[in-house]
Amino acid sequence: ADNRWLKVTEAKTPHGYTVGISTDVTAEQRALKAAEAADREKTEFLNNVSHELRTPLTVISGRASFLRNSERLPQSKSLAAALENATPADGAVTTAVTSFQRFVSEQSAGIENSAKHMLRLVEDLLDWTRVARGQLELDLARIEVTDLGRTVVEDLRPDAEAKGLTLTYSQDGPAEAMADTIRLKQILYNLISNAIKFTDTGNIHLSIEQLGDQIVFSVADTGCGIAQDDLERVFQRFQQVDGSMSRQKGGLGLGLAIAEQLAVLHGGALSLESELGKGSTFRLTLTRAEAAFQRTG
């Protein structure tokens, strides 16, 4: 009555009779369709939430950065000028204004950092929804990668030093790959930020080496490491190894899933070696541009 379809499969009984086994296919298919629809709905929802959050966050981050440099604002300058012209010059007022400017600047730096952190999470969510819908596309060009590696290390060095860690870099000569500059940077930022996040003492090292047709980017840390049983899991979406520790460190468990997808879209791979308590080495392997061209003719 309610559109039930039965699938009949033939089977033999132990005594050799052929019987028909009927399964309610409609129910199975319906469940599958419902699961797919739910999955799509979730992706849509994530996408909408991320878009909604991104706009106000961009505003907060922008305004905070504006305030952080408050002494450069025209209002602040005219205040300072007015004070200078006031007779007699009141040292106490000048000190109060300077201290107020410093206060505004410190508070804004805090707001800016938090907004930037949230923006990174939102960007990860947006990237993930692009991956889930198969809409993440690369803008490939032939690029030299060792300068790019150095830039990422220099950008992240203050974060490492703030935790008392050293961040070093080595390479064995200029190397060219067919890559999307922004996305390649994103992979390296992600690996090095993770290394900083999960290391309490020691050193983080990025090396770029050429091995035959390959360029190998290795990010090695002396951090907490990952148990053998968890090695596969870290690349899965929303997965964090030790729930308690990762929650302490924050994050959505999307960074490595996105990084791996980006590596694959580049025709490369992301792999991991780790020992619990000793540290981890993540390796991104890309094909050298020369070799990639030879291969495609």
Determine if 222 is a binding residue for ligand ADP (CB under 6 A): no
Q: Are the CB atoms for 224 and 245 separated by under 8 Å? A: yes
Which residue among 125, 167, 215, 224 contacts ligand ADP (CB under 6 A)?
224
225 backbone φψ class: left, alpha, beta (φ>0; ψ -120 to 50): left
Site for ligand ADP in 46-105 (CB under 6 A): none
Residue of minimal CB distance from ligand ADP? Answer: 251
**Ranges of H-type helices in 133-221:** 145-162, 181-197
Contact 288, 210 (CB under 8 A): yes
Q: In Å, how far from its chain's centre is CA 204?
A: 18
260 near ligand ADP, judged by CB under 6 A:
no
Quick one: which of 151, 154, 241 has its CA closest to 197?
A: 241
How many residues can be counted in the chain?
297
Task: Give the count of residues interacting with ligand ADP (CB under 6 A).
Answer: 20
- The contact pattern for ligand ADP, residues 109-148, with x = CB under 6 A and - = no contact, is ----------------------------------------
Compute φ and ψ for 274, nearest 5 degrees: -155, 150
Residue from 148, 234, 263, 292 touching ligand ADP (CB under 6 A): that is 234
Coil vs helix vs strand at 87 = coil
Candidates 15-23, 42-50, 69-77, 247-255 — which segment interacts with ligand ADP by CB under 6 A? 247-255
Position 262 contacts ligand ADP (CB under 6 A): no
Which residues between 273 and 292 bind ligand ADP (CB under 6 A)? 280
Give the binding site for ligand ADP (CB under 6 A): 194-195, 198, 221, 223-224, 226, 234, 239-241, 246, 251-257, 280
